[in-house]
Amino acid sequence: MRMSWAVMTALVCFSAMAAQAAEAIDPERIVSAATGDWDKDGSLDLTMLVSAPEGSDEDHAVYIYLDDGDTARLKLKTVAPNKVWGDLVMAGRAPLIAALPNGSILITSHNDSIGRNRWEQKLTVAYRNFDFVVAGYTYSSYDTLDLDNTSECDFNVLTGKGKSNGKPIATKGEIVLLKDWSDDRGQSACGNE
């Protein structure tokens, strides 16, 4: 998938500002990026998936920048290291980040190529109380050799309500910061432990 001009422009701007962040990010490590108005202040913000440095076994990190409003510069708001699984070498396993129309961020990871168990996971990230939280968790899977072995779950983390395999589920709603999120939380709520 090709990046839009707005995303490419934001990445160029980001590269110039990267030196001001705690660590400069090699542009070659940017896996996916999206722009949107995450904090609903009328200015474009930036979110990126960044691969771990070469030789590391960590998952991709999520970097979220907000326009500061005063100088129209993007400032780092959140870093969630080791957060999103993905493989850039094998087709069908690259993670993706996208902007949703409501101003939320959608982070997708999946395995569509290796083994008999194929799956897709989506995290909906929203700006709440001056930080980024996981608002929604969606997971689906299927077995390529047993087509009756499927799983679907859509869970609102904030309210604790959702559906798993067509049946209602309810747990205690909670606010979980993106940097504190573990996929085990979503799997547990969906009954996929």
User: 150 pLDDT exceeds 60?
Assistant: yes
Whole domain around residue 181: which residue ranges? 115-193
- Are 5 and 78 found together in one domain? yes
- Are 131 and 187 found together in one domain? yes
- Are 52 and 140 found together in one domain? no
pLDDT band, very low/low/confident/very high, at 163 (cuts 50, 70, 90): very high
Asked whether residue 48 is domain-assigned, the answer is yes
Per-residue model confidence (pLDDT) at position 90: 83
- Are 150 and 88 found together in one domain? no
Residues 27-43: tens digit of each pLDDT:
999 999 999 999 999 99
- Are 29 and 1 found together in one domain? yes
- Are 81 and 1 found together in one domain? yes
User: 68 pLDDT exceeds 80?
Assistant: yes
**Considering the entire predicted model, what is its pTM?**
0.86
- Taking residues 61-81, report their average pLDDT: 92
3-state secondary structure the chain: CCCCHHHHHHHHHHHHHHHHCCCCCCHHHEEEEEEECCCCCCCCEEEEEECCCCCCCCCEEEEEEEECCCCCCEEEEEEEEEEECCCCCCCCCCCEEEECCCCCEEEEEEECCCCCEEEEEEEEEEEECCEEEEEEEEEEEEECCCCCCEEEEEEECCCCEEEECCEEEECCCCCCEHHHCCHHHHHHHHCCC
- Are 90 and 121 found together in one domain? no
Among 98, 132, 158, give the residue marking a domain's end.
98
Per-residue model confidence (pLDDT) at position 33: 97
